[in-house]
Amino acid sequence: MLHPYSNPRTEAPMKPETEKDVCGLCGEPGADKMAHPMHWPGEQVPDGRFVHAECEEEECRRAHALLSDKQRADFLRGIR
């Protein structure tokens, strides 16, 4: 079983005070923002609440590019 403050990507124990700045997308320290609550279909959802702005933007662009115009429109119509 993993230590309660383990990074799931590396299984290395982390200190509770540093857990909050680990990026939920790449697993590296230094996350600088809270993750967006909505995600495109196929977009990787962060493991935690915090992410690097650059990681989130890159993942959002990747998932967006994989969708057709119709898929994007259908998804956006479904958001409430």
Which pLDDT tens digit goes with each residue over 20-30? Answer: 799 999 999 99
Q: Mean pLDDT across the chain, nearest whole number?
A: 85
Long-range contacts, stretch 26-32, CB < 8 angstroms, 24+ apart: 26/52, 26/55, 28/52
Distance in angstroms (rounded) separating the CA atoms of residues 43 and 64: 8
Amino acid at site 47: D
Between 68 and 80, whose confidence is greater?
68
The answer to which of 6-20, 24-38, 46-60, 61-75 has the lowest mean pLDDT is: 6-20
Domain boundaries, the chain: 16-78
Give the global pTM.
0.72
Question: pLDDT-based confidence at 44, cuts 50/70/90?
Answer: very high
